[in-house]
C-alpha cells in the first residue's frame, strides 16, 4: 500500500500557546514530503519529529496571516545554512514572494538553491501541482483575506501483477514490467493472454483535503466530494458562532457539516482558539453531527490510506 | 537597590536547536522591560517565563539576520490581538521598518497601537534612548551586515536620606522630598543644615552591555569601559578561529579578551554554533582569559546590580 500520512505540527490559531503551535502539517506520500502552511517555529517542530527538512521540495501556503507563514523565512534560511542546492517550490498567494525577497535582501542572504513561486488563484479551484502519483487541486475558501485550501489526490493506480497467473501462463520475468503497464502477453505458441487475466484489481486511490481558515462555505463541498480524510478548521464552538462568522472562521459543528455534505470518510478539526484549554468541547460538538471526527493534536500522524 | 536583571531567552546562533533558541534577552530595570533582539519563537519563550508582553515598550534589534528578528512580526501581531494600545518603540536598522510594514500590509493587519521606529546608526556610538533612570548607547559592531550592540547604563543616583540625621535635626516629613532632590534644610531657628549631612552616599549605578554578532573588534572596548556585566557573542572556540574571522563572529577567547581590556566585572558568552553540544568547551576557553565568565543559558536570570 502507498504511504500517505499527515503529521500535525501545529493546531493553534492566531496566538500560539505553550501546548499548541501555529498551523503546519507535513504530508508524506511515499517519502515525498509536502509542507502545508508554516507558522512561526515550524522548523523546530520538524526537528523535534526528526523530519529531514531538505526532503521538503514543495511548500503550500494557504494565506498570509502570520500564523500560517511566519516560520517560512527561518525554514528557507536554515535549508540554505544546511547546504541545500535543490529547487524549492512554494505554492502561495502572490504577495508572499515579496515578503520572502525583502527578508533575503536585507539580510544579504544569497541562497544557493532556487525558489520557484507558483501563485495560487484563491478564487478558482485549479490543478496546482501533479506528478505521476498525485495531483494537488486548490480549494477556494472564504476568509478575511485571499485563502486557499489544497486537495491531495492519488491518481488511479495500475492493476497489480497476479503472481498465480504469471506462473500459470509461464510469463518470463522480462515481460513483467510491460504487463504492469497494461500490455497483454503473447505466449511462445502465439496465444494472447489478456492483461486482465494476468493482473489483479488496482489498489484504491486516497485523498486528503486541507481546508485552512474559512467560514462555513458550501462551495468547498463539490471540490472535496468523497474525500478520505478532511481537515477543516474549527476555531470556535457553536456558542461563539457569531464571533466565527464575524472573523470568517468556522465552528466545530460547521466543520462537521462540511464533512457530512461532502461525504468525507473522516474529519480532523484544528486551528483552535486559545480560549479552549479542553478541546473535548469542540470534539463532542463536531461528533454530534459527524461521528468520525478527530482532533488535530500536535505530533499525531493520521493515515490517509485507511481501509475501512 | 534598583532591580536590574537580564533574562536569557535564547543563545543559539543561526540554526536553532531543540535546547537552544535564537537570540533574545529581556532586560528588566525596575519593572520596565526592554527586549534585546527577537529571534523566531521569542513570543513563546516570553510566555514560558510568564512575561507580560504588553509591558515591553522598547525593543532593540541589533541587526537583520533572521536569527535576531524573525520573531518580531509574530510578537507585534500577538500584542495587537491581545488588545494593545500603548506605543511600541523599536530601535533598529532602518530596513526593519520595511519588513514589518510589508508583513502588516499583506495580512491586512491594522494595528490599534502605534509603532515608532528609531533608526540606529551602526557606524557611530550614540545615545539612542534615555529616561530619568537610564541611558542606552549604541555600540558599533563589526559583522557581515550593519550591526549594533547596546549599552544600558543607570544614571548616577541621588544620595539617600539618612534617617538618623533627619531625626537629629527634627526635619519635618514634608521637607523630605526636597532633601532627596539635593536641597539643604533650614531649621526653625534659621540654622542651615547642609544636604550632605542629611543624606548618605548614593547607591552605585550599574551597566550592562549587549554585544551581539561581531568579530573581535577593539573599538568596542572604550565604549563598554568598566561595564558591570558584558554579554559578548562567542559563536566558536579558538579551534575554529579562521571560521570565526571569515563569518565575522568571535571565539570564546576573543570575547574574554574584550572583557579583560574593557575592565568588565563579569562576562556572559552566547550565540553558540550548533556544533557545540557541550558548552563547557567554550566556557573553559573563555575562563583561561577571564575567570568571571558565565554561559548565557536559556531561562537564566543574571543580576546586573551585583555588589562584589
Domains defined for chain B, CATH in brackets: 4-157+203-303 (3.60.15.10), 160-200 (no CATH)
- Would residue B245 show up in a list of annotated catalytic residues for this protein? no
DSSP codes of every residue in A155-181: PPPPPEE-HHHHHHTT--GGGHHHHHT
The overall average pLDDT reported for chain B is 94
Rounded Cα distance, B286 and B144, in Å: 24
Burial of residue B44, with CB atoms counted within 10 A of its CB: 0-12 exposed, 13-18 middle, 19 or more buried: buried
pLDDT above 70: residue A1: no
The span from the CA of A73 to the CA of B76, in Å, is 17
What are the CB-based long-range contacts (under 8 Å, 24+) for A19-26?
Answer: A19/A298, A20/A272, A20/A274, A20/A298, A21/A45, A21/A298, A22/A67, A22/A68, A22/A70, A22/A71, A23/A62, A23/A67, A23/A68, A23/A212, A23/A270, A23/A271, A24/A71, A25/A210, A25/A231, A25/A296, A26/A51, A26/A56
pLDDT over 60 at B3, yes or no: yes
Q: Show residues of chain B in contact with A65, CB under 8 Å.
A: 107
Chain B neighbors of A103, CB-CB under 8 A: 66, 70, 99
Q: Residue A209 in contact with residue A153, Cβ under 8 Å?
A: no
Q: How far apart are CA A230 and CA A209, in angstroms?
A: 5
Q: Which pLDDT score, from 0 to 100, does residue B251 have?
A: 97
In this complex, do A108 and B14 lie within 8 Å of one another by their Cβ atoms? no
Note whether A106 contacts B64, CB cutoff 8 Å: yes
Contact of A66 with chain B, judged by CB distance below 8 Å, is answered with yes
- Distance, in Å, from the CA atom of A139 to the CA atom of A149, rounded to the nearest integer, reads 5
Interface test with A, best of B37, B44, B79, B145 (most A CBs within 10 A): B44
Please enumerate in sequence order all residues whose Cβ is within 8 A of that of A222, keeping only pairs 6 or more positions apart, or say none. A262
The pLDDT value given to residue B14: 76
Which grid coordinates belong to A223?
471540490
Say if residue A166's pLDDT is above 80.
yes
Banded pLDDT at A42 (limits 50, 70, 90): very high
When comparing pLDDT for B4 and A1, which is higher? B4
Of B40, B77, B102, the CB nearest to A71: B40
Q: Are B229 and B302 in contact (CB under 8 A)?
A: yes
Q: Which of A13, A37, A103 to mutate to test the interface with B (most CBs of B within 10 A)?
A: A103
β-strand partners of B295: B269
Q: What is the pLDDT of residue A212?
A: 94
Q: Which single residue is written with the C-alpha cell 499525531?
A: A300
* pLDDT interval class at A287 (50, 70, 90): very high
Q: Does A95 touch chain B if contact means CB atoms closer than 8 Å? A: yes
- The closest CB to that of B73, out of A66, A77, A108, belongs to A66
Q: How far is A44 from chain B (nearest CA, A)?
A: 7
**CA nearest B73: which of A101, A40, A24?**
A40
Buried b (16+ CB within 10 A) or exposed e, A83-102: ebeeebbbbbbebbeebbeb
Closest residue in B to A100 (Cα) is B99
Q: How is residue A274 written as a grid cell?
A: 486559545
- pLDDT tens digits, residue range B64-101? 999 999 999 999 999 999 999 999 999 999 999 999 99
Cross-chain Cβ contact B64/A40 below 8 Å: no
> Which residues are paired to B118 by β-bridges?
B91
Give the integer Cα–Cα distance in Å for B39 and B148: 16
- Closest-CA residue in chain A for B96? A106
Query: With an 8 Å Cβ cutoff, is A50 touching chain B?
Result: no
More confident of the two residues B103 and B16: B103
Instruction: Calculate what percentage of chain A has a pLDDT beyond 90.
Output: 91
List the single residue in B with minimal CA-CA distance to A20: B44
Record: contact B40-A74, CB cut-off 8 A: yes
* Segment A164-171 mean pLDDT: 92
Tell me whether residue B142 is exposed, middle or buried, using C-beta atoms within 10 angstroms of its C-beta: 0 to 12, 13 to 18, 19 or more: middle
**Per-residue pLDDT band at A2 (split at 50, 70, 90):** confident
Closest A-chain CA to B80 = A15
Please say if the pLDDT value at position A308 is more than 60: no
User: Exposure string (b/e) for A290-300, b if CB count within 10 Å is 16 or more?
Assistant: bebbbbbebee
Task: Using alpha carbons only, give the angle A50, A53, A56 rounded to the nearest 5 degrees.
Answer: 125
ipTM (interface pTM): 0.88
Q: What is the mean pLDDT of residues A266-292?
A: 95
pLDDT over 80 (residue B208): yes
Nearest CA in chain B to A71: B40
The predicted-structure confidence for B5-31, as pLDDT tens digits, reads as follows 999 999 888 777 778 889 999 999 999
- What mean pLDDT do residues A177-184 have? 92
DSSP letters spanning chain A: ---EEEEEEE-B-SS--SS-PBSEEEEEETTEEEEE---TTHHHHHHHTT--GGGEEEEE----SHHHHTTHHHHHHHHHHTT--S-EEEEE-THHHHHHHHHHHHTT---SS-EEEEE--SSS--EEEE-SSEEEEEEE--SSS--EEEEEEEPPPPPEE-HHHHHHTT--GGGHHHHHTT--EE-TTSPEEPHHHHEEPPPPP-EEEEE-S--S-TTHHHHTTT-SEEEEE--B-GGGHHHHHHTT--BHHHHHHHHHHHT-SEEEEE-B-TT-S-THHHHHHHHTT-SSEEE--TT-EEESS---
Digit-coded pLDDT (tens) for B226-266: 999 999 999 999 999 999 999 999 999 999 999 999 999 99
Cβ contacts (< 8 Å) between A43 and chain B: which residues? 16, 40
Is the pLDDT at A225 greater than 80, yes or no?
A: yes
Of A127 and A305, more confident: A127
A-chain residues within 8 Å CB-CB of B82? 15
What are the residues whose beta carbons fall under 8 Å from the beta carbon of A121, sequence distance 6 or more?
A: A138, A148
Interface of B with A in 106-135 (CB under 8 A): 106-109
The pLDDT score that the predictor gives to residue A299 is 94
pLDDT of res. A18:
79
Query: For residue A206, is pLDDT > 70?
Result: yes
* Cβ <8 Å between B107 and A65: yes
Q: What is the reported pTM?
A: 0.91
Q: Do B17 and A47 touch (CB under 8 A)?
A: yes
Contact B44 A16 (CB under 8 A): yes
Residues of chain B in contact with residue A71, where contact means CB-CB under 8 angstroms, are: 40
* CB-based contact, A144 to chain B, within 8 Å: yes
SS3 state at B304:
coil
From CA B55, how far away is CA B213, in angstroms rounded?
Answer: 27
The more confidently predicted of residues A12 and B154 is B154
Work out the number of other CB atoms within 10 angstroms of the CB of residue A31: 8
Residue of B nearest to A47 (CA): B18
Q: How many CB pairs under 8 A join A and B?
A: 93
Share of chain B above pLDDT 70, in %: 99
Chain B residues in contact with A95 (beta carbon < 8 A) = 106
What average pLDDT does chain A have?
94
Q: Is B162 exposed, middle or buried (0-12, 13-18, 19+ CB in 10 A)?
A: middle
pLDDT over 60 at B308, yes or no = no
A15-19, A39-43, A80-84: which range is least confident on average? A15-19
A277 touches chain B (CB under 8 A): no
Q: Is B68 helix (H, G, I), strand (E, B) or coil?
A: helix
Amino acid at each position: 500500500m502507498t504511504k500517505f500520512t499527515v503529521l500535525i505540527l501545529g493546531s493553534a490559531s492566531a496566538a500560539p500557546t505553550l501546548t499548541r503551535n501555529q498551523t503546519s502539517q507535513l504530508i508524506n506520500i511515499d517519502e515525498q514530503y509536502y509542507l502545508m502552511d508554516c507558522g512561526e517555529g515550524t522548523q523546530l517542530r520538524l526537528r523535534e519529529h526528526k523530519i529531514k527538512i531538505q526532503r521538503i521540495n514543495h511548500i503550500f501556503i494557504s494565506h498570509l496571516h502570520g500564523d500560517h507563514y511566519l516560520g517560512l523565512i527561518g525554514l528557507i534560511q536554515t535549508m540554505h545554512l544546511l547546504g541545500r542546492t535543490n529547487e524549492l517550490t512554494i505554492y502561495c498567494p502572490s504577495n508572499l514572494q515579496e515578503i520572502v525577497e525583502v527578508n533575503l535582501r536585507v539580510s544579504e542572504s544569497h541562497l544557493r538553491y532556487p525558489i520557484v513561486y507558483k501563485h495560487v488563484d484563491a478564487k478558482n479551484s485549479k490543478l496546482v501541482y501533479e506528478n505521476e502519483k498525485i495531483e494537488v487541486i486548490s480549494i477556494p475558501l472564504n476568509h478575511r483575506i485571499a485563502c486557499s485550501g489544497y486537495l491531495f489526490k492519488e491518481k488511479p493506480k495500475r492493476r497489480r501483477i497476479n503472481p498465480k497467473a504469471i506462473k500459470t501462463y509461464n510469463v518470463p520475468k522480462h515481460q513483467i514490467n510491460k504487463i504492469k503497464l497494461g500490455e497483454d502477453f503473447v505466449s511462445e505458441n502465439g496465444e494472447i493472454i489478456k492483461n486482465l487475466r494476468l493482473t489483479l484489481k488496482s489498489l484504491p486511490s486516497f485523498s486528503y483535503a486541507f481546508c485552512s481558515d474559512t467560514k462555513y462555505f458550501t462551495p468547498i463541498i463539490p471540490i472535496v466530494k468523497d474525500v478520505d480524510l478532511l481537515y477543516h478548521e474549527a476555531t470556535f464552538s457553536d456558542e461563539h458562532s457569531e464571533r466565527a462568522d464575524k472573523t470568517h472562521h468556522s465552528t466545530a459543528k460547521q466543520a462537521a457539516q462540511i464533512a457530512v455534505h461532502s461525504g468525507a470518510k473522516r474529519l480532523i478539526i484544528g486551528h483552535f482558539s486559545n480560549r479552549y484549554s479542553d478541546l473535548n468541547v469542540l470534539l463532542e460538538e463536531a461528533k454530534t453531527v459527524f461521528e468520525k471526527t478527530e482532533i488535530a493534536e500536535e505530533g499525531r500522524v493520521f493515515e490517509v490510506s485507511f481501509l475501512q
